[in-house]
Structure 1
Amino acid sequence: MNFLLTLAYDGTNYCGFQVQPNGRSVAATFQDALEAVLGSRPDIKGCSRTDAGVHALGFRLNFHADTRIPPQKLPLALNQHLPPDIRVLAVQTVPEDFHARYAAHTKTYLYRIHNHPIDSPFDAAYYTRVPRRLDESAMQAAAQQFVGTHDFLALCAAGSSAAAHGDTVRTITDCHVTRRGDEVDIEVTADGYLYNMVRILAGTLCEVGAGRLRAADIPAILTSRDRSRAGPTLPAKGLFLKCVDYPEKEEQP
């Protein structure tokens, strides 16, 4: 059967989701648990390649396996063999040809900002602190300029394979900024992303919130395709893969 899983994880202690030679990955850690439960190590297909330090609230992956364990009991079985910073939230069966990455319709990322001069003693590992007050209304106006189909090369870090192939057009269907007290959240939903795109987008919105850029500057930044005109790449620790959406028919076994 083909199983589709939903995972949440704290990316602080990992080099990213993808297996890499330079550190411990979420994928390798998950496969260790899979091997302990199933007695085999099936290939897994992740919905995305989250970078080092990036977290996930609703990461999706799939794998094929023959097991007598009912899908509803797999989360408990796997979580017994996973470290506390990785948790399987749900499991379902999907069609044999389902692929967690290629079947994804959209992915939503959340970037968390603590807009205060002093860090929180409780969750400083899960946001970026910006000490000076940000203008969230200006940030929201700028966020709307990113919605649509654009060439996002200006929001792409060096070393991107997509950029090397000239594949830098993406469609953002939603981008918004909300404030709750000292917490400023940036949410982006798109059909795909370039390398560090959300962290650069968030950095650009912070420049607008600080008054160093204007919402009206965003279209020219995108048209320029010039990375130097956009804002800084914010730290990975504030970024979360919030959810992945699939067409309803894709998730029906």
Structure 2
Amino acid sequence: MPAEAHFLTPFKYECLEGVHTALNGVLPPDIRVREVSPAIPEFHARFSVTSKVYRYKIYNDPVMDPFQRYYAYHSAYKLKASAMREAAQHFMGSHDFSAFANASRNDRAPNPFVVFLQGALMQIEVEGSGFLYRQVRNMVALLLQIGREAIPPSIVPVILESRDRKELAKHALSVPPHGLCLVSVNYREDHLRLPSDCPPPSFGRTHTVSKCKLPFY
């Protein structure tokens, strides 16, 4: 799962490779810094964001793939992807998503909202300017019920207009978190420009191998 962070430093660095190595040296092994880059003062890892892309994976087969068990929700019941795509269109645009989150009003617009298949693996991808707590998981939960043909796609605008979390709870409960991941974060272009007289970004230390011998016995 990609993520960005920023920090201020009183030091002026001519090279960022040492900082890059030091950060990875103190982080736990399941967290790695892939890039360290200078930024202008206006950049903020949270407030410079223009949109985020989330993806939820569903393994739609009677038998769960053991290699997907930690990264995809298992639905043994055959899902109707066309109904889910039809329902997803109702989420597009600017709405009050209060019914889909345990938080206050949100009129941010998911765009686009895509349901695509790769064999038994169904992936639901949504991009938006922001999301409330559990909003994506609640939307996916409703799409699952629609895919199972338990409720029609037309239920989506009814729940949206209700602005009531209890209305959603009549039809679906939030899906578990392990199928959800953050795919990417998009930032304002003018906040991504590099400052003048700054060191180049570090992508990790590089070394040149001049000779490699493989002795055979």
TM-score, with length taken from structure 1: 0.70
Is 1:90 equivalent to 2:35 in the alignment? yes
Q: What's the offset of the Cα at 1:74?
A: 4.1
* Alignment partner of 1:232 is 2:173: yes
Asked if residue 156 in structure 1 is aligned to residue 101 in structure 2, the reply is: yes
Structure 1 residues 248 and 227: CA distance shift in structure 2, 3 A: same
- What's the offset of the Cα at 1:191? 0.8
Instruction: Please identify which structure carries the higher helix content.
Output: 1
1:119 paired to 2:64:
yes
- 1:131 aligns with 76
- Report the Cα distance in structure 2 between the residues aligned to 1:71 and 1:213, rounded to whole angstroms: 55
CA contact (8 A) 2:59 2:68 kept: no
User: How many angstroms does 1:208 deviate by?
Assistant: 0.9
Q: Label 1:213 to 1:251 Cα distance change in 2 as closer, same or farther (>3 A).
A: same
Q: Does 1:218 align with 2:159?
A: no
Contact 1:59–1:242 under 8 Å retained in 2: no
Which of 1 and 2 has higher RCO (CA within 8 Å, sep 6+)? 2
Alpha-carbon offset, residue 84 of structure 1 = 2.9
Q: SS of 1:89's equivalent? A: coil
Contact 1:72 1:90 in 2 (8 A): no
1:248 equivalent in alignment to 2:170 = no
Alignment of structure 1 residues 166-177 onto 2, 5 Å? 167-177=105-115
Larger Rg: 2
Post-superposition Cα deviations, 1:103-150, rounded to whole Å, max 9, x if no partner, equal 100011111111122232223111111111111111111111101000
Equivalent residue pairs, number = 190
Where does the alignment leave 5 or more consecutive residues of structure 1 unmatched? 1-55
More strand, by proportion: 1
What's the CA shift string for 1:33-90, capped at 9, x where partnerless? xxxxxxxxxxxxxxxxxxxxxxx2x211111123637335544442333233212222
Q: Identity over aligned residues, as a percent?
A: 34
**C-alpha distance in structure 1 between counterparts of 2:110 and 2:27, whole Å:** 34
RMSD: 1.7
> Residues 78 and 88 of structure 1 are in contact (CA less than 8 Å); yes or no, is this contact kept in structure 2?
yes
Q: Give per-residue Cα distances to partners, 1:10-50, cap 9 Å, x unaligned.
A: xxxxxxxxxxxxxxxxxxxxxxxxxxxxxxxxxxxxxxxxx
